[in-house]
Structure 1
Amino acid sequence: MTTTKAPTTTVPLLSATGLHVTFPGRRGGAPARAVDGVDLDIAPGEIVALVGESGCGKTTLARTLLGLVPPTSGSVTFTGETLTHTSRALKAYRKRVQLVLQDPSGSLNPRHTVYDAVAEGLRIHGHAGDEREAVASALSRAGLRPPERFFLRYPHELSGGQRQRVVIAGALVLEPELLVADEPVASLDASVRGEILALLLSLRDELGLSALVVTHDLGLAWNIADRVAVMYLGRVVETGPVEEVLTSPQHPYTRALLSVLPESPGPPIVLTGEPPDPSRIPAGCRFHVRCQVLASGEAGGVAGACRTSALPVLSGGAGARVACHAVRPAAGAGS
């Protein structure tokens, strides 16, 4: 599968600036910096893949962009307006930005028919139009045709791929401008994953939808994204057009993630240990305690900086950039 060309506009649909999310420490311990300074833009009609290991902060970032978690500091803007966390503002915002969850079996009420599952959003938002027509249109766009055949069916009567299409239809029924898809194919069989990815691409092309796809799978990013942001321990450490980042990765962490893909030409790069606790982020480059470049001595004269000097937050716009002392920072890195 190949993606179509990325959108040409440079005006972001959604923009996160200086985003921090800190959770209180357990039993009086140090607070956990789950998101620790992130700038990220998503343009109209653009698919951005947010990639990283479990625990890197990508789901917390996605939930913050959705308005489900208020930021400790920083801001989220949508179509140029800053998101506020009043009930009225969030309700209006969530009509325009919809979540697609990882596990359709867990996100669909087993007692609700497909019709009721898709119509739920319309009822919450007081839809004034023809509900049946809107539900049928959403199911059809999600690839469940003829839609009337699915109205009275229950989740247990559907395949995994069909259930995920119902979840997508439930998001589409409100005609959003942005989808946030958290591991949208992780629970599906390999034979079905391609169909769902193709559906997301067709929705971008036909409806102009933007999407943030949260995943640990760089192979998925290659198949669907225009741009990729690689996240480690609360920060984006490399970002840029998917072809540039995945064919010529600069950050040692990105290279390690790519090395374990089946099509990788070289041996896997084994990172030592687990990601550090977000309540105890190390000084200097936050990746240095696991970095294969530093451990091998290849960092050379910047080894001291790797251990002691913090790196800047990468700006959120287009263009390839990397936060690494061993790689000359690209123009556009913020302070």
Structure 2
Amino acid sequence: MTAPALLSATGLCVAFPGRRGRAPARAVDGVDLDVGRGEIVALVGESGCGKSTLARALLGLVAPTAGRVLFDGREPGRGTRALKEYRRRVQLVLQDPSGSLNPRHTVYEAVAEGLRIHGLRGDERAAVAEALARAGLRPPERFLLRHPHELSGGQRQRVVIAGALVLGPELIVADEPVASLDASVRGEILALLLRLRGELGLSALVVTHDLGLAWNVADRVAVMYLGRIVESGPVEEVLTAPRHPYTRALLSVLPESGAEPVVLSGEPPDTSRIPAGCRFHVRCPVLASGAAERAGVARACRGTELPVLPGGPDSRVACHWAAAGT
């Protein structure tokens, strides 16, 4: 029997009011997503697909317009006290450590801030030092009185991670955690996430546009396009045998893929005017090449909407052409 997910979203939707009478922008348009205990899930997609909005909705930073989020089997309350407790257990790590850290605060103050906000008592200095050490800043005493400008980019990101760890969270939501770092440092931060999972049993949802990062760090991957998950499953299955044309296009640009790069035509449609049928069909190379017509699914691609994929651990794909067994 499968253990219940630590974090679970069902039918989650987030819409923003349209300007000047336009239809609402459906940034997240029906998402089921699970993150298990001790599991790292990568949420992958190009800029504007809705992945950061989904992450913020999971954290309670954006109010969903439909659907629900469960953490540890319960729906987080909407009251101030309930949200405060939830956000202690689920911490956000942003992509830009320079923007996340107050330049006037020392490393000690930056990491201790969460303890003070949540009113957690005890030996504050010992807790800060332990969090810095776990984040790879050793010996921590060397860093306590430094300011952000005295640190490298990788060290600043470790301080941000330490600020999350000091609260003892069960899950970290990392939004593009290495996007602003040099290539030489990226591997160190990814190795740190894996080590924290091993040492603390920490779960993580890693939001990224980089499928190469997902390959290196994740257990499962969920590929998002225009507000929905279009393919998900164990990372080895999805990235070695992708079934959705969008996933294939994302993979094709990785140098190690060895495939001919697939250049998608145009830009993703406006989220206030999501096309009928498969939402990817207006850019789909399979449809453009005639392969969908030969498989007998071209009409369905253009006019039949696909269901929301369930959020479990099995491989899933929202694609008429893939479902036809081609």
Q: TM-score range by the shorter chain?
A: over 0.9
The share of aligned pairs that are identical, in percent, is 80
Question: Conserved in 2, the CA contact under 8 Å of 1:9 and 1:44?
Answer: no
Question: Deviation of residue 329 (structure 1)?
Answer: 7.9
Q: Is the 8 A contact 2:4 2:73 kept in 1?
A: no
**Contact 1:182-1:214 at 8 Å conserved across structures:** yes
Corresponding position: 1:281 with 2:277? no
Amino acid in structure 2 at the alignment position of 1:322: V
2:321 aligned counterpart, secondary structure: coil
Give me the whole-angstrom Cα distance separating, in 1, the residues matched to 2:39 and 2:110: 27
Gaps of 5+ in 2: none
* CA offset digits 1:33-65 (Å, max 9, x no partner): 000000000000000000000000000000000
Cα distance in structure 2, aligned partners of 1:67 and 1:252: 32
Q: Give the count of matched residue pairs.
A: 323
Question: Does residue 151 in structure 1 map to residue 144 in structure 2?
Answer: yes
What is residue 202 of structure 1 aligned with on the other side? 195
> Does 2:45 correspond to 1:52?
yes
1:18 corresponds to which residue? Answer: 11
- 2:72 is aligned to 79
Which secondary structure does the structure 2 equivalent of 1:239 belong to?
Answer: strand
Tell me the SS of whatever aligns to 2:310. Answer: coil
1:111-126 equivalences in 2 (<5 Å): 111-126=104-119
Report the equivalent of 1:97: 90
CA distance in 1, matches of 2:232, 2:107: 38
TM-score between both structures, scaled by the size of structure 1: 0.95
**Distance (whole Å) between structure 2 residues aligned to residue 12 and residue 103 of structure 1:** 29
TM-score by length of 2: 0.98
Deviating beyond 2 angstroms after TM superposition, the runs of 4 or more aligned structure 1 residues are none
Give, in whole Å, the separation in 2 of the partners of 1:237 and 1:184. 23
Note if 1:290 corresponds to 2:283. yes
- Residue 220 in structure 1 maps to residue 213 in structure 2: yes
| Distance in 2 (alpha carbons) for counterparts of 1:216 and 1:140 | 29
In structure 2, the residue matched to 1:166 is 159
Contact 2:111–2:159 (8 Å) recurs in 1: yes
Give the aligned partner of residue 4 of structure 1.
none
CA distance in 2, matches of 1:162, 1:187: 12
What RMSD in Å do the two structures reach over aligned CA positions? 1.1
- Match 1:308 to one of 303, 306, 312: 303
AA in 1 matched with 2:231: E
Contact kept? 1:136, 1:148, Cα under 8 Å: yes
1:226-241 superposed matches below 5 A: 226-241=219-234
Give distance in 1, aligned partners of 2:19 and 2:242. Answer: 37
Q: Compute the displacement of 1:140 (Å).
A: 0.4
Deviations 1:199-252 (A, max 9, x none): 000000100000000000000000000000000000000000000000000000
Q: Where does the alignment leave 5 or more consecutive residues of structure 1 unmatched?
A: 1-7, 331-335
Counterparts of 2:82 and 2:30 in 1: how far apart (Å)?
Answer: 24
1:8-40 per-position Cα deviation (integer Å, ceiling 9, x unaligned): 963200000000001000122110000000000
